[in-house]
Structure 1
Amino acid sequence: MSSAVALTPSIVARAPKALLHDHLDGGLRPQTIVDLAAESGYDGLPTTDAVELGQWFLDSADSGSLVRYLETFSHTVAVMQTREQLVRVARECALDLAADGVVYAESRFAPEQHLAGGLSLEHVVEAVLEGFAQGQQEAAAAGTPIRVVTLLTAMRHAARSREIAELAVRYRDQGVGGFDIAGAEAGFPPTRHLDAFEYLRRENAHFTIHAGEAFGLPSIWEAIQWCGADRLGHGVRIVDDIETGADGIPVLGRLAAYVRDMRIPLEMAPSSNLQTGAAESIAAHPITLLKNLRFRVTINTDNRLMSGTSMTREMQLLVDEAGWTIEDLRWATINAMKSAFLPFDERLEIIEHVVKPGYAALGARA
């Protein structure tokens, strides 16, 4: 298949995908939310019609404000407070991603937000891991195998990051791949959690940091140079350190050059960035400029429910509106696998025996 050949949704749907940035509480099925709310007695939903509810999440998140975007999670978190609820949500997450052609996924969630039903942090983590194990087993049986790893997230406005970091280390041989901090960036710099990051580094543990989405270059600089992040969650504002020279050639500032030189992965989510005001359009999204400059960009969903999206949709949008080719999609997928919080040999196995053959079957050039 030539790069000039139009990539149809059916072709993109068949492409193997690797997903590094997907929130468990941002990807529930609308019907599952309705079911779990009814079972638990939660009466805060704006509607109990699953179709209308799905549209409500999309409309509410499509405000241009990160703060309002984050408010939609109160409803999903409310129905993720028991072991049974967490198992179901995690199982369905694995199945939904597998059905979308995702062969490797990292799903993140904040254990501290799931304690209202009396669960301990350990019970929360174990329930989610059980759900992912069930989903992976069912997906393999259905002929759509997927590897799911989870990341434990600490909320940047709270004070439990060291505790969550220790939890991530405790469960890292049982399916937890790393650590993350999330939540509103403004007023809550990553250096507030320096103790957690220093602990993780001493333990040789992986971590990513939400940075450079709603807040700019200082957030990215702190995440990398003070905290030592392995990856950047979003990182879209790194373009603030790239100017257009007199000859029209992009000129990188020292921070942008460092990010590119060090191959620091950028977990980019185009549709989500449009909703939170971090980008104006898919066509103008910085991911394409950064791809052309050979930053290590990856394509992600962020929150599938709130953005009404999937990996297939994110890829198709880049194809249709930003001119991406099958080779571009392949390159970004390999970037993601190179950057995964997996042992090197396991990453290589998926790249060489799943991703490359999958794209070769679609006609992508080696």
Structure 2
Amino acid sequence: MSERVDVPVSDLVRRAPKVLLHDHLDGGLRPATVAEIAAEVGHPLPAAPEALGDWFVEACDSGSLERYIATFEHTIAVMQRREDLVRVARECVEDLAEDGVVYAEVRWAPEQHLAGGLSLEEAVDAVQEGFRAGERAAGGRIVVRQILTAMRHQARSREIAELAVRYRDEGVCGFDIAGAEAGYPPTRHLDAFEYLHRENAHFTIHAGEAFGLPSIWEALQWCGADRLGHGVRIIDDIEVDGSGRAHLGRLAAYVRDKRIPLELCPTSNLQTGAAPSLVEHPIGLLTELRFRVTVNTDNRLMSGTSMSRELQQLVDALGWGARELRLVAVNAMKSSFLPFDERLAIIEQVLKPAYAELGA
């Protein structure tokens, strides 16, 4: 059983405005919310309410992506009624705003939330209602958009892609596929990606997390992804020689040259075995080599984390300061699926002034 060490957050990290591109709605619930709704709907939980948060973290510290994914059985089970989706979405925004996040794209798979009788559209409407309520509660300190996810082991990706396009002016900014990579390549969903291209829509693909370079190559060269969900295994195409000089392979050079954003999730990568430690995490070298690096939470409940915790760990492990925090925040905002003028407004009016005060 692993032991999660508390990470005190410095004033620098606390004050730094944060931008989040890779956060799962069903992976960020408050443990108390899971317990309360589970009691109402009669879903059995694997631990007592007071120990539930620790159970999720410990279960996910296995080094296996498959076991990590299995824990979602308990969060998805409490997100089947309309009122529960609204609540979870609202609390998500409130928690992110409290953590200093100024812009977030939160992804979730509508097809997994229909057991209570909701339609796909009703589920999206419920999450949107919750997001707007959370933004209002935060007093305008945060902007949040939905990314609609299709499960890569299912066959509804075209349907979910059409849903994302239908709602793109109503709070949905993009599309994603997620789930176990091995055995389920992104090319199984080419019809959905070709449709999104025709509709001038944005999408990211989970790739290069548990699986290696072929997953990244297919996501980019076959499917045309705008961003890589994780993408941490791009490090496999970089060789550092005895003098410390890095040599990029063709795929790594392409990713860097094209400024393809990497949605890196340090704690999650450690849990699933995609990286051995924070000190050895590829994010350090990738940042030095000027890849389009972003820092993300992935699943705040399963990782017992927040954006502040992710950033503080990088400050402690890699010696990051205000300059690096500014870099990843601006990288993320540049890479978001918001319209250009809205992205620019947040960079110029929120990020740059705040980081100037922090000395970056």
Partner residue in 2 for 1:45: 45
Partner residue in 2 for 1:240: 236
Q: Which amino acid aligns with 1:119?
A: L
1:317-348 CA distance string (max 9 Å, x none): 00001111210010010000000000000000
1:218-249 CA distance string (max 9 Å, x none): 00000000000000000000000001235320
Partner residue in 2 for 1:265: 261
Partner residue in 2 for 1:128: 127
Partner residue in 2 for 1:30: 31
Within-5 A mapping of 1:84-163: 84-140=83-139, 145-163=141-159
Give distance in 2, aligned partners of 1:138 and 1:306. 25
Partner residue in 2 for 1:172: 168
Within-5 A mapping of 1:176-195: 176-195=172-191
Q: 2:320 aligns with which of 324, 327, 336?
A: 324
Partner residue in 1 for 2:331: 335
Give distance in 2, aligned partners of 1:263 and 1:248. 23
Deviates more, 1:352-361 or 1:303-312: 352-361
| Residue 363 (structure 1) shift | 2.1
Q: Are 1:226 and 2:225 an aligned pair?
A: no
Give distance in 2, aligned partners of 1:160 and 1:102. 32
Give distance in 1, aligned partners of 2:66 and 2:223. 24
Secondary structure of the corresponding residue to residue 196 of structure 1: helix
Partner residue in 2 for 1:4: none
Q: How many residues align?
A: 353
Give distance in 2, aligned partners of 1:131 and 1:88. 6
| Residue 60 (structure 1) shift | 0.2
Determine what percentage of the aligned residue pairs are the same residue.
72
| Residue 39 (structure 1) shift | 1.5
1:109-159 CA distance string (max 9 Å, x none): 00000010000000000000000000001101xxx6100001000000000
Q: 1:256 aligns with which of 252, 255, 266?
A: 252
Q: Contact (CA 8 Å) 2:9, 2:309: kept in 1 or not?
A: no
Secondary structure of the corresponding residue to residue 151 of structure 1: strand
Structure 2 residue runs without a partner (length 5+): 1-7
| Residue 68 (structure 1) shift | 0.1
- Where does structure 1 differ by over 2 angstroms across 4 or more consecutive aligned residues? 245-248
Give distance in 1, aligned partners of 2:246 and 2:220. 23
Secondary structure of the corresponding residue to residue 179 of structure 1: strand
Cα gap change, 1:330 to 1:37, in 2 (>3 Å): same
Within-5 A mapping of 1:54-65: 54-65=53-64
Give distance in 2, aligned partners of 1:226 and 1:192. 10
Give distance in 2, aligned partners of 1:251 and 1:324. 24
Q: Which amino acid aligns with 1:35?
A: E
Secondary structure of the corresponding residue to residue 20 of structure 2: strand
Q: 2:286 aligns with which of 280, 284, 290?
A: 290
| Residue 8 (structure 1) shift | 5.8
Secondary structure of the corresponding residue to residue 248 of structure 1: coil
Secondary structure of the corresponding residue to residue 184 of structure 1: coil
Q: Contact (CA 8 Å) 1:112, 1:154: kept in 2 or not?
A: yes
Q: 2:208 aligns with which of 195, 207, 212?
A: 212
| Residue 48 (structure 1) shift | 3.4
Secondary structure of the corresponding residue to residue 182 of structure 2: coil
Partner residue in 1 for 2:10: 9
Q: Contact (CA 8 Å) 1:284, 1:322: kept in 2 or not?
A: no
Secondary structure of the corresponding residue to residue 260 of structure 2: coil
Q: Which amino acid aligns with 1:45?
A: L
Give distance in 1, aligned partners of 2:89 and 2:11. 26
1:3-30 CA distance string (max 9 Å, x none): xxxx962220110000000000000000
Q: Structure 1 length normalisation: TM-score? A: 0.95
Cα gap change, 1:312 to 1:8, in 2 (>3 Å): closer
Q: Contact (CA 8 Å) 1:213, 1:236: kept in 2 or not?
A: yes
Secondary structure of the corresponding residue to residue 138 of structure 2: helix
Partner residue in 2 for 1:311: 307
1:58-88 CA distance string (max 9 Å, x none): 0000100000000000000000001000000
Q: Which amino acid aligns with 1:29?
A: R
Give distance in 1, aligned partners of 2:200 and 2:149. 17
Please provide the CA RMSD for this pair: 1.0
